[in-house]
Amino acid sequence: MQFSSFRRCLVAAVLALAIGPALAAELTVSAASSLTQAFRDIARAYQAHYPDARVALNFGASGALLQQIAKGAPVDVFAAADQETMDQAESQGLVLAGSRRDFVRNTLVLITAIHSGVAIRRLEDLGQPGITRIALGNPASVPAGRYARHALQAAKLWPAVQAKAITTQNVRQALDYVARGEVDAGFVYGTDAALMKDKVRVVLEVPLNIAIRYPAAEIIGSPHAQEARRFLAYLASPAALAVLASYGFGLPGR
C-alpha cells in the first residue's frame, strides 16, 4: 500500500511538471472592441507561430476593460483605443512601466445607413431638424465617443448633438444601430465602417486635432509576464501589422 501511494504521488508530480509549462503559456488579452476581428486573426497566427501559446481574448469598451482590470480581473495584456485610458491605467499603477507602446492608428468617421436619404456633408449638417438620433459611444468609457465629443466641442456643436445622442456601450454597438437603421447617423472608427460596407456608408472623416493611436501594455503582476512580452513584441511584427493593415488600421507613427 505504501509503495502504491508513493507511485501515485510520483505520477501526479510528473503530470504536474508536464502540464505546468502549457499552463504558463496561456495569456489573457483585453482589447478594445474595434480590434475584435483583427485580434482574433492575430491570436490564431500567434498560436500557429508559437505552438506552446494559448491566447484568450476579452473585448469591450476601453474604459470598461480598465475597470475590470482595476477590480482584479486576471489580464496579462491590455490594448486600448486611446491614450487617455492607458494614461489612467498607468496612473493607477496597473501597467508595467516601460511596456507601453503604440501599435496602430485609426480614424473617426460619421456614417449613415447605406440607403439613408439623410444628406450630411459636414458636421454642421447634424443640426438638421430631420436628424433626431445620433449614435456615439458613451464618452465616459468609450474612446470613440470621447473623440466624437472632442470634435463636436471644437466645432461648437456638442450641445446640439448631445440632445440627439443615443449613447452606446461600445463603438460596435453604434455601428449596429446605424446598420439596422435605428438611428440617423453615428460616429465609429473607419475600420468599423469598413466591416459593413454593404450596410453603412461613410459620409465624412471627422476632423480631429489629436491622433487616434492605440497603445498596448503589460499588466503589472501578470502570471505570464514572459508570454505577455512575447505577444507585445509580436504586435509590432510584420505579420501582425499585415493583419491590422488588412482591416484598415495604419502604422502609429503615420
pLDDT of 13-66, one tens digit each?
A: 333 333 344 444 589 999 999 999 999 999 999 999 999 999 999 999 999 999
Beta strands in 114-250 (DSSP E): 134-137, 165-168, 185-189, 200-205, 212-218
Residue/partner pairs of 45-49 with CB below 8 Å, 24 or more apart: 45/239, 45/240, 45/243, 46/231, 46/234, 46/240, 49/234, 49/239
Any bridge partners for residue 167, and if so which?
Answer: 136
In 3-state terms, what secondary structure has residue 30? strand
Identify residue 190 by its one-letter amino acid code: G
Q: What is the pLDDT, as a whole number, of residue 117?
A: 87
Contact 137, 170 (CB under 8 A): yes
Contact 216, 89 (CB under 8 A): no
Task: Return the ∠ at Cα 70 (arms to 66 and 76), rounded to 5°.
Answer: 75
Count CA within 13 A, CB hemisphere, residue 140: 4
Conformational region of residue 221, where left means phi above 0, alpha means psi within -120 to 50, and beta covers everything else: left
Contact 180, 200 (CB under 8 A): no
Average pLDDT over residues 1-16: 40
Best CA proximity match to 247, nearest among 30, 31, 34: 34
Q: What is the pLDDT, as a whole number, of residue 253?
A: 75
Q: What is the pLDDT, as a whole number, of residue 93?
A: 97
Q: How far apart are CA 189 and CA 41, in angstroms?
A: 19
> What nine digits make up the cell of 227?
508570454
The whole-chain average pLDDT of the chain stands at 90
More confident residue, 16 or 174: 174
Q: What is the pLDDT, as a whole number, of residue 133?
A: 97
Q: What is the pLDDT, as a whole number, of residue 7?
A: 44
Any bridge partners for residue 32, and if so which?
Answer: 60
Q: What is the pLDDT, as a whole number, of residue 254?
A: 56
Which of the residue ranges 7-21, 60-74, 113-127, 162-176 would you say has the lowest mean pLDDT? 7-21
Q: Can you list the domains of the chain with their CATH numbers?
A: 2-105+211-246 (3.40.190.10), 108-205 (3.40.190.10)
